Amino acid sequence: MAVAQATLDALSLPPREAIAFFAQKTNATTQHWTDVWRTGHSRSFMVAGAASEDLVADFRAEITKALEQGTTLAEFRQGFDQIVARHGWAYNGGRGWRTRLIYETNLSTAYAAGRYAQMTEPDTLAAFPFWQYVHNDGPNPRLQHRAWNGLVLRADDPFWATHYPPNGWRCGCRVRALTARQLGRQGKTGPDTAPAIETRPWTNPRTGATSDVPIGIDPGFDYNPGQAWQGGGLPAIPTDARFTPPEGFPPRPLPIPAARPAAASAPRPPAAASDDVLPIGRTGAADAPDTPLPPEPPAEEAARLRAQLRRLGGAAAAEAGGASPLAELRRLAGLASAERTRLLARLSELRGARAARDAQRDSLATLRRKVAEAGG
């Protein structure tokens, strides 16, 4: 029973490295989303348009709660509403769109930086000297991100300085570490050749300055959050790292991760042409409906995921109920933790989609009432 309880306790621990990354930031008041730029986000916390220190501090407390306690997007929106009411903050964009961007961007960059810190530990680099780009299989895939799926490079390749995900707003891509054996199981004898980095000109809507942005990456995301946090240099792979699989290996193939075909859905919204807070296609009034979201998944799927999440703790406890050695216990905890994180994220998406649909209906009703009043 003590071993099982230790496993469950381990699963409930917050992501320490991600929390440490977020905790070392200093608050920054801003007027525009470009006021803090690229690597500056690894040292500063901001919410575009939040121009008072108390307002920024309240938003920071909500993101800290999400990292430490695992609060969902729906719960974050409740805190957002309270903060807006308390400070009388007039923000750009719809509630659903704005809250999702604040919540997801801060959490994804914190988790990316935490993951980078874990993968660049000397012992980890010695065992896992290769990194592989894994594309998210969301409903609106970026074709360039999909093209990078399965790409394997050394951990110290300069490509990761600009292309370590997230590589844009709502990007769900990630990087996984590989051993030489895992490389061999994919039929590779060494890393791939890093693709040439092509750029496009982009003009800052606030200052008018033009800069070169890598193709496939949203402006401002062409940096590595963890690398900027850790000092900015390339990771140093230990000299005793194994870069080639053993002779005669592999005994069985391990397929390159493939992004599943995306379900049919509405196209990605076009980029905003105005001086909006964030470049995600919001050019209407603040009370206009949110950008349409994909249809809410069936209620049956939500119920199934909740049941699977409840079973997760019991299954881990049952498997670890015997006299498992410490290494096995850690393995079980890691597997269950990854599955638990995936399920919690999926549940958050389901809840967020429902809340967004409700907000959209309310916004449409408000617009119809205003039109009727104006006509009368």
Those residues with Cβ within 8 angstroms of residue 78's Cβ, 6 or more apart along the chain or in another chain: none
Q: What is the pLDDT along the chain (376 residues), one digit of tens a residue?
A: 443 344 334 334 458 999 999 999 999 999 999 999 999 999 999 999 999 999 999 999 999 999 999 999 999 999 999 999 999 999 989 999 999 999 999 999 999 999 999 999 999 999 999 999 999 877 788 999 999 999 999 999 999 999 999 999 999 999 999 999 999 999 898 999 999 999 999 999 989 999 999 999 999 999 999 999 998 889 999 998 988 877 665 555 555 565 544 444 334 433 333 333 333 222 333 333 333 333 334 555 555 555 656 565 555 555 445 444 455 445 555 555 666 666 677 777 777 777 777 777 777 777 777 767 776 5
Could you give the number of structural domains in the chain?
Answer: 1
**Tokens at 56, concatenated:** 């920024």
Q: Are 135 and 146 in contact (CB under 8 A)?
A: yes
Helix, strand or coil for residue 213?
strand
Structural domain harbouring 123:
2-261+270-375
Of 4, 8, 6, 2, nearest to 337 by C-alpha is: 8
- Angle in degrees, CA 284, 287, 293, rounded to 5: 75
Buried/exposed code over 236-249 (b: 16+ C-beta within 10 A; e: otherwise): ebeeebeeebeeee
Of 39, 50, 68, nearest to 221 by C-alpha is: 39
Those residues with Cβ within 8 angstroms of residue 300's Cβ, 6 or more apart along the chain or in another chain: none
Residue that has been written with the tokens 């406890």 in this structure? 317
